[in-house]
């Protein structure tokens, strides 16, 4: 198997300000440069530029060999930790870029290594040259070399060990020739460079540091995702998206919601600590509000918080149609939608778009209610998206997950960034 090394960097002069990235692809065996690119991207933040460099490097590597094993070397700890799955991607501008990077290679084909800045000098030079008016365009596919011969043995083993081992972060100053690039990232702490910091940082809040295990509650934040009860459209297998308020529960759906409420009151899937009241959050759609109200009544909760980010995926022109009707009327669009989570129904949103807003809603809940139990009444696709992300499965796994109406799913979020699936599709 072809084995490649991607070195990438990004930066801006102003943060946000004029920004660029540089990326290099090398043979893992010889270190030979196989392809390189350095381009400006207009005005952007440092972190956006870092991700754009990563995407450019992975795309170059994929053009050489889409089945290659790739080690990515970056001097941005934020990107390394987020792409390795150890930190959450909290900033809205970065989430779609992270998803784009994930789709280029299968996850098992890519490892990420943090390197000091002086070991990323080639990519750094490319980005600075681009900012100085000397960009290097990506080569055409016909100009790229064939994938280098497979490298086996100690050299590749060492690379994998480095990529998967703990990153040690010395206090490294940037080389003098990049001093004119603003390295004060959005993830910079008041006490120094966030590339030396431990823990996730919200890019939207300069100077803010994520909660660390030493100060966070010992109990995880537990999300109990409840899919609403059945509606007439559920029974008829009709697409019913988040564009409108939607239908109400039918008799079976009300019974399912009541069973879910009784299960939660009885401590399934997780028992409430004595004397505590759970938080209940609901999608604003009618069927979820009805389900949430029944749960709140059973648990003695007076207030249900609604958040439109938990609504169902918007299906646009497909709303009110069955899958058979959709494939008959929109054969090409349906085939594309079923094969790619980045595709969307006419007038609707893609599953990737839906997942991005649901992730943002989840992160707000976890941040707002640390160590608490939060019941979230939502829909099929949001539940699928969060389970897929928890399991680190490919996005296409969403098509293979089917939470039943009225079912319960438990996801635990720990203060060190760990996530665990406590149960999926539990049917009271």
Q: Residue 99 half-sphere exposure, CB side, CA atoms within 13 Å?
A: 24
Structure confidence at residue 184 (pLDDT): 30
Q: Are 211 and 370 in contact (CB under 8 A)?
A: yes
* The pLDDT of residue 174: 32
**172 vs 217 pLDDT, higher one:** 217
Contact 395, 388 (CB under 8 A): yes
Q: Do the Cβ atoms of 115 and 74 come closer than 8 Å?
A: yes
What lies within 8 Å, CB to CB, of 152 at 6+ separation is: none
The C-alpha atoms of residue 176 and residue 94 are separated, in whole angstroms, by: 28
326 is written with which tokens?
Answer: 């959709």
Is 230 in contact with 405 (CB distance < 8 Å)? yes
pLDDT band per the 50, 70, 90 thresholds, residue 152: very low
SS3 content of the chain, % helix, strand, coil (to 5): 40, 20, 40
Return the pLDDT at 150. 36
pLDDT above 70: residue 353: yes
Q: Both tokens of residue 28? A: 């893992």
The set of catalytic residues is 228, 312
What is the mean pLDDT of the segment spanning 80-86?
90
Each residue's pLDDT tens digit, 274-300:
667 789 999 999 999 999 999 999 999
The residue ranking higher by pLDDT, 212 or 33, is: 33
What is the maximal distance between C-alpha atoms in the chain? 71
Look at residue 263 in the predicted model and tell me its pLDDT: 92
Q: Is 259 known to sit in a ligand binding site?
A: no
pLDDT in tens, 99-110: 899 989 988 899
Look at residue 328 and tell me whether its pLDDT is greater than 50.
yes
Calculate the alpha carbon distances from 100 to 50, 85, 94, 104, 356 in Å: 13, 15, 10, 7, 12
Q: Domain 221-426 has what CATH class?
A: alpha beta
What's the rounded Cα separation, in Å, for the pair 89 and 87?
7
At residue 389, the 3 state secondary structure works out as helix
Of the listed ranges 132-141, 355-364, 374-383, the least confidently predicted one is 132-141
The owner of tokens 């080639």 is 122
Q: Which of 88-92, 125-129, 202-206, 325-329 has the highest mean pLDDT?
A: 125-129
User: How sure is the predictor about 208, in pLDDT bands with cuts at 50, 70 and 90?
Assistant: very low
Average pLDDT, the chain: 80
Question: How far apart are alpha carbons 48 and 98 in whole angstroms?
Answer: 10
Task: Provide Rg for the chain, Cα atoms.
Answer: 24
* DSSP letters for 26-57: EETTT--EEEEEEEEEEEE-HHHHHHHHHHHH
| Burial per residue of 308-334, b for 16 or more beta-carbon CB atoms within 10 angstroms, e otherwise | ebbbbbbbbbbbebeeeebbeebeebb
pLDDT at 220: 87
Residue 413 has pLDDT above 60, yes or no: yes
Q: What's the whole-number mean pLDDT along residues 193-221? A: 37
User: What is the rounded distance in angstroms from the CA atom of residue 380 to the CA atom of residue 376?
Assistant: 12
CATH code 3.30.420.10 for 3-196: yes
Q: What is the structure's pLDDT at 141?
A: 60
Tokens 């992160």 correspond to: 363
Asked if residue 79 has pLDDT above 90, the reply is yes
Partners of 33 in the β-ladder: 26
Question: Cβ(150)–Cβ(1) under 8 Å?
Answer: yes
Higher pLDDT, 177 or 234: 234
In the beta sheet, which residues pair with residue 421?
411
Domain ranges of the chain: 3-196, 221-426
Phi, psi of 74, deg, nearest 5: -135, 150
The predicted pLDDT at position 90 comes to 79
Sheet of strand 33-44: strand arrangement = 33-44, 17-27, 3-12, 69-74, 110-114
Q: What is the pLDDT of residues 109-121, one digit of tens each?
A: 999 999 998 899 9
Tokens 């022109």 sit on residue = 317
Separation of alpha carbons 255 and 234, rounded Å = 14
How does residue 87 score in pLDDT terms, banded at 50, 70 and 90? confident
pLDDT above 70: percentage of residues in the chain: 81
Average pLDDT on 185-192 reads 30
What's the pLDDT at 189?
A: 25
- 113 in Cβ contact with 57 (< 8 Å): no
Nearest to 29 by CA among 115, 145, 155: 155
Q: Is the pLDDT of residue 135 over 80?
A: yes
Report the relative pairing of strands 17-27 and 3-12 from DSSP bridges: antiparallel
């Amino acid at each position: 198997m072809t084995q490649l090394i991607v070195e990438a960097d990004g930066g801006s002069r102003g943060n946000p300000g004029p920004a660029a990235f540089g990326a290099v692809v090398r043979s893992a065996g010889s270190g030979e440069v196989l392809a390189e690119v350095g381009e400006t991207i207009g005005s952007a933040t440092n972190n956006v530029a870092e991700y754009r460099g990563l995407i450019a490097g992975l795309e170059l590597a994929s053009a050489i060999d889409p089945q290659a094993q790739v080690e990515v070397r970056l001097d941005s700890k934020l990107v390394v930790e987020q792409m390795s799955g150890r930190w959450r991607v909290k900033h809205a501008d970065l989430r779609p870029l992270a998803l784009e990077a994930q789709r280029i290679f299968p996850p098992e084909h890519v490892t990420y290594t943090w390197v000091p800045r002086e070991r990323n000098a080639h990519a750094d030079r490319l980005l600075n040259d681009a900012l100085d008016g000397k960009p290097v365009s990506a080569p055409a596919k016909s100009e790229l070399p064939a994938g280098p011969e497979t490298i086996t043995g100690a050299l590749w083993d060492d690379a994998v060990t480095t990529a998967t081992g703990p990153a040690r972060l010395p206090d490294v100053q940037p080389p003098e020739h990049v001093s004119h690039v603003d390295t004060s990232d959005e993830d910079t702490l008041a006490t120094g460079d966030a590339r030396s910091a431990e823990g996730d940082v919200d890019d939207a809040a300069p100077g803010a540091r994520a909660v660390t295990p030493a100060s966070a509650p010992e109990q995880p934040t537990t999300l109990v995702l409840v899919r609403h009860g059945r509606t007439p459209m559920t029974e008829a297998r009709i697409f019913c998206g988040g564009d409108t308020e939607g239908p109400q529960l039918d008799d079976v759906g009300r019974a399912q919601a009541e069973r879910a409420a009784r299960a939660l009151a009885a401590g399934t899937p997780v028992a409430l600590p004595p004397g505590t009241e759970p938080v209940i959050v609901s999608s604003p759609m009618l069927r979820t509000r009805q389900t949430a109200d029944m749960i709140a009544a059973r648990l003695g909760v007076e207030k249900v918080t609604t958040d439109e980010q938990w609504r169902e995926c918007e299906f646009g022109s497909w709303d009110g149609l069955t899958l058979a009707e959709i494939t008959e009327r929109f054969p090409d669009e349906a085939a594309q939608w079923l094969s790619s989570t980045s595709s969307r129904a006419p007038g609707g949103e893609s599953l990737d778009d839906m997942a991005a807003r649901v992730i943002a809603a989840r992160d707000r809940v976890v941040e707002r209610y640390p160590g608490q139990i939060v019941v979230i009444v939502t829909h099929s696709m949001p539940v699928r998206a969060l389970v897929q992300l928890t399991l680190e499965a490919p996005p296409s796994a969403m098509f293979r997950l089917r939470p039943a109406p009225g079912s319960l799913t438990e996801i635990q979020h720990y203060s060190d960034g760990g996530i665990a699936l406590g149960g999926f599709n539990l049917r009271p």
